[in-house]
Structure 1
Amino acid sequence: MNAQNTPSPVTTPAPATVIGLGNMGSALAAALLDRGHPTTVWNRTPEKAKAQADRGAHVAATPAEAVAASGLVLACVLDYDALHTVLDPVAEAGGLAGKSLVNLTSGSPEQAEEMAAWAAAHGAGYLDGGIMTTPPGVGSPEMMFLYSGSEAVLETHRPALAALGDPLYLGARPGLASLYDSALLGLMWATFAGWLHGTAVVTADGPPATDFTRVALRWLTGAVSGFMTTYAPQVDAGRYPGDDATVDVQITAIDHLVHAARARGVDTSLPELLRATMERAAAAGHGQDSFASVIEVLRAPGAPATP
């Protein structure tokens, strides 16, 4: 047969287990079922498994049964204490040996590192994950799932993990996904706060929030993203050429925002906090450097410029 006419092999979706059926865990199970993965689920409260059972999931009676059902075990429970409560008895009985544990439970980088060591001690491959979406976004290829730890686990189970969202591997250190997750949430909250403050200032004079937001999004995705791309290498190098706009210039600019907000009865604590941080950078000798130099007053004293 001509190689061009050889049919591509058909890959059968591999089984997967989901431990925990809160809003996020339920979304994970639903995404796997939608992609045809035989899915086993377990939840401390069995009633929460009904919706997934109606979609074809197998409901395990115990965590041990759930883990035994699949080579891939995804855990998404309240916290690490809950995770150990569920999995410790399974591990002590040898049930995790040879399994791939993908932990999507929220926690700290240090907890992820400890969990990776715990999993290895019980013979399981470990991948830590950060879900960069809310439950309605699970299953969309546009949504990122951050992973760190065992690259072998990621590659072995890539089809199932890709069913949840776009899998982005950050490296072998298990805590990286949690670290990025926390930092990205900080970026999101700071962006939301800045947007809402700007919206309060603008709408005080009549324009609707939708008009301001349309302009703000163009600014963020164009100029602001460009600034970030320019500043990142400066941060890595620890050198901040002030050839676009210096910290001193931006302190003057933020004074205009404080004035505009105060004149319209809008709270000024956010821009005043930003101004105070810029002033600390200027006092540390960075007044003629770029805004990226502000990181020097945010870092712990003596922290290296690069990992």
Structure 2
Amino acid sequence: MTAKETAMSKGTISILGLGAMGSAIVDRLRESGYDTVVWNRTAAKAEPHVKAGSEHAATVAEAARAGDIVIAVLLDHASVREHLEPVATELKGKVVVNLTTTTPNESRATAAWAAEHGLSYLDGAIMATPPMIGRPGSSLLYSGDENAFAIAKLALETLGTADFEGADAGLASLKDMALLSAMYQMFTGFLQAAAMMRTVGVAAGRTAEDVIAWLSELIPHVGHFAAVIDGEDDDPALRQDVAFTRPAIASLITAAREQGVSSDFLEPLKKHLDELAATGRGDANWISVIDQFPINE
């Protein structure tokens, strides 16, 4: 602990980056009894936090020296490397937690850099919006140095559920990207439905109610899909083959076009089903389109 820490302080955490998410993290850590040191490229963003009790660091190096844990919540991978690489010496003996959104391989590259400099590095992914931080439903994923996770866990748990995904530093990012892919596909499905229904004057709010009710009943089927993919189960009662699904999706595409609505979100699935049928797999479970996903270099 630093000399400025009070008897009630749980330690000092430095936060680099004061965007909406970085600010929410600072607020939560401060409320949870941690001394917080903040740095941001635009110093003015630190002022509200200083007024609330945080300490302002004029430089990244100063922030790195001050914290027992250093959390980066920056713009992107390039900004992480730009700001962390010059202060590798100051980061020695600290736990470095990167909560910046990066791809799995970018996360691995930063972890490799940290290992070269003997740093304790943890990569993280935030499965929450800024207002959710510290509230029920907030979840954060971590991967990399398991010992670093053990050291920082109590502090990280103040932000939300803290799950350690494994020693591969790219795992947290990969799971984050996978879940976000599912989210966006779900949301674009709603946009497709809303676009089709508003051609006949149905408000998006009404369509939203119908979509929520319908998909709520179907979500449990994801577990069945997973069992099929993993080769554990292919219940004939729940089975729908490629030969059946192809014309069904074709009908959805035709219906959208008849209403003067783009079918761009539906056509990739039809393309994959067509490829399966063309290779003699018309009787396969339509879920086997997942086998079409690997990119053939």
Q: Which residue of 2 aligns with 1:80?
A: 77
**Alpha-carbon distance between aligned partners in 2 of 1:71 and 1:97, rounded to the nearest angstrom:** 10
Match 1:230 to one of 224, 235, 243: 224
Match 1:96 to one of 71, 91, 94: 91
**Cα 1:250–1:174 shift into 2, 3 Å:** same
Q: Provide Cα deviations, 1:47-77, integer angstroms capped at 9, x if missing partner.
A: 1111111111111122222112221110011
TM-score (norm 1): 0.86
Match 2:115 to one of 89, 114, 120: 120
- Is the 1:247–1:289 contact (alpha carbons within 8 Å) kept by the matching residues of 2? yes
**Cα 1:101–1:57 shift into 2, 3 Å:** same
**Cα 1:81–1:268 shift into 2, 3 Å:** closer
Name stretches of at least 5 consecutive residues in structure 2 with no aligned partner. Answer: 1-6
Counterpart residue type for residue 97 of structure 2? V
Match 1:160 to one of 136, 155, 164: 155
Q: Which residue of 1 aligns with 2:60?
A: 63
Name stretches of at least 5 consecutive residues in structure 1 with no aligned partner. Answer: 1-9, 303-307
How far residue 129 of structure 1 moved from its aligned partner, in angstroms, is: 0.8
Q: Give the fraction of aligned pairs with identical amino acids, expressed as a percent.
A: 37
Q: Provide Cα deviations, 1:196-227, integer angstroms capped at 9, x if missing partner.
A: 1011222323333222222322332331x222
Counterpart residue type for residue 165 of structure 1? G
Counterpart residue type for residue 12 of structure 2? P
**Cα 1:263–1:84 shift into 2, 3 Å:** closer
Counterpart residue type for residue 257 of structure 1? L
Q: Which residue of 2 aligns with 1:295?
A: 290
Counterpart residue type for residue 52 of structure 2? R
Q: Which residue of 2 aligns with 1:3?
A: none
- Is the 1:235–1:292 contact (alpha carbons within 8 Å) kept by the matching residues of 2? yes
Counterpart residue type for residue 75 of structure 2? L
**Cα 1:291–1:155 shift into 2, 3 Å:** farther
How far residue 81 of structure 1 moved from its aligned partner, in angstroms, is: 2.4
**Alpha-carbon distance between aligned partners in 2 of 1:281 and 1:239, rounded to the nearest angstrom:** 20
| 1:37 equivalent in alignment to 2:24 | no
**Alpha-carbon distance between aligned partners in 1 of 2:29 and 2:281, rounded to the nearest angstrom:** 51
Q: Provide Cα deviations, 1:162-212, integer angstroms capped at 9, x if missing partner.
A: 222222221111011111222222222211111110112223233332222
| 1:176 equivalent in alignment to 2:158 | no
The count of aligned residue pairs is 290
Q: Is the partner of 2:200 in helix, strand or coil?
A: coil
**Alpha-carbon distance between aligned partners in 1 of 2:253 and 2:200, rounded to the nearest angstrom:** 16
Q: Is the partner of 1:157 in helix, strand or coil?
A: helix
**Cα 1:126–1:284 shift into 2, 3 Å:** farther
**Cα 1:133–1:295 shift into 2, 3 Å:** same
**Cα 1:42–1:169 shift into 2, 3 Å:** same
**Alpha-carbon distance between aligned partners in 2 of 1:14 and 1:219, rounded to the nearest angstrom:** 48
Question: Which shifted more, 51-60 or 63-72?
Answer: 63-72
**Alpha-carbon distance between aligned partners in 1 of 2:139 and 2:215, rounded to the nearest angstrom:** 20
Q: Which residue of 2 aligns with 1:129?
A: 124
Any residues of structure 2 matched to 1:14-25 within 5 Å, and which? 14-25=11-22
| 1:138 equivalent in alignment to 2:133 | yes
How far residue 12 of structure 1 moved from its aligned partner, in angstroms, is: 5.1
Counterpart residue type for residue 273 of structure 1? P
TM-score (norm 2): 0.89
Q: Is the partner of 2:137 in helix, strand or coil?
A: coil
Q: Is the partner of 1:204 in helix, strand or coil?
A: helix
- Is the 2:81–2:110 contact (alpha carbons within 8 Å) kept by the matching residues of 1? no
- Is the 1:103–1:129 contact (alpha carbons within 8 Å) kept by the matching residues of 2? yes
- Is the 1:99–1:123 contact (alpha carbons within 8 Å) kept by the matching residues of 2? no
- Is the 2:134–2:160 contact (alpha carbons within 8 Å) kept by the matching residues of 1? yes
Match 2:181 to one of 183, 186, 190: 186
**Alpha-carbon distance between aligned partners in 2 of 1:166 and 1:72, rounded to the nearest angstrom:** 18
How far residue 301 of structure 1 moved from its aligned partner, in angstroms, is: 4.8
**Alpha-carbon distance between aligned partners in 2 of 1:149 and 1:123, rounded to the nearest angstrom:** 13
